Each structure stands twice: as structure tokens, then as C-alpha cells.
Amino acid sequence: MIDRRALLRTSGVAAAAGALGAALPASAEAAESSRPGGTPAPAGTDPTEGVTRTLLQEHPSPAEGWEAVQTLVQIPRHRESGRHSHPGVEVGYIVRGDVLMEFDDRPPLRLRTGDPFFIPDGVIHNARNVGRVTTMMLSTYVVDETQPLVTTY
């Protein structure tokens, strides 16, 4: 079992600052300016490199055995979250950027700044940054408190 807090604190490069308007880590800024738009990450690199997940808040849910967790996810250009699922629903909002949300069981969904999204319990998905800036997503989960927040595939 993955420790939820450890995963959120150590995902990708250094954890992002805990505010929506926070500056990007220097390594993410360098990655953004080093390749022209639309150019994929170099072969052999980890497609999730530089992805950060910052835990914003965590509270017991009104439903016994469940909890509400909110995170700020930042995905640099040409990077992706990696295929994963959650033990409950994810309700999200694209704060900045363009994402292709890919699913194992349905067609992909193109999301842009200002778009909300919903991912059902257990659905395997991958958020791929297809834009020109680091994507920022606000994700709120209502999940089984006995399970890890993220299961990777």
C-alpha cells in the first residue's frame, strides 16, 4: 500500500508551492522554455518527470469510512500524470493549460483552462499535457480512507 501523504509530497520533482498562484519550480520553467510547442519529450525520458502533486487539504467525509482530499496537480509541457486510478470519485477543474484526459474504457476528453471534469470510482486514466504551458489542475477526491489515494498501472 502506498502512503498517501508520502506520494503527494514526493511525486515528480520537488513539491510545488501550496497556492494556486505559486511560481513553477525552476526545473519546470526550464523544461517549458527548452522545446518548441508540440515537440514530445525526448525518447527514454520518464513521461511523468516533473509532475507535482500538492496536498491542499484532507478532511473526513460525512459518509463514514470516506474522506475528502484536495490536491493541486501540475504537469509540465510534454508530460503526463501516468495511468492511474482512485478508490473513489475525482472532481476536477483545469486552472491553467490544455489536457488530453485518456481513459482505458472510453474515448479521450480534451480539457482546456476553465473546464471541469469528473472521473468515476476506479476508472483508469492519464492526464497528458498537450498545451504550451505547465498545466494546473485542482482535483478533489472523495475516497475510501482505507485505500491509497492513487494506484498506478
CA distance 32 to 76: 7
Is 41 contained in some domain? no
Task: Read off the pTM.
Answer: 0.72
In a domain, 88, yes or no: yes
How many domains does one find in the chain? 1
**Least confident range of 1-5, 105-109, 113-117:** 1-5
DSSP letter at 4 equals H
* Confidence band for 24, pLDDT divided at 50, 70 and 90: very low
- Distance CA(140)–CA(7), nearest Å, equals 16
How many beta carbons lie within 10 A of that of residue 1, not counting itself?
Answer: 7
Q: What is the pLDDT of residues 57-100, one digit of tens each?
A: 999 999 999 999 999 999 999 999 999 999 999 999 999 999 99
CATH for 53:
2.60.120.10
Is 145 within the bounds of a domain?
A: yes
For residue 112, give the 3-state DSSP assignment.
strand
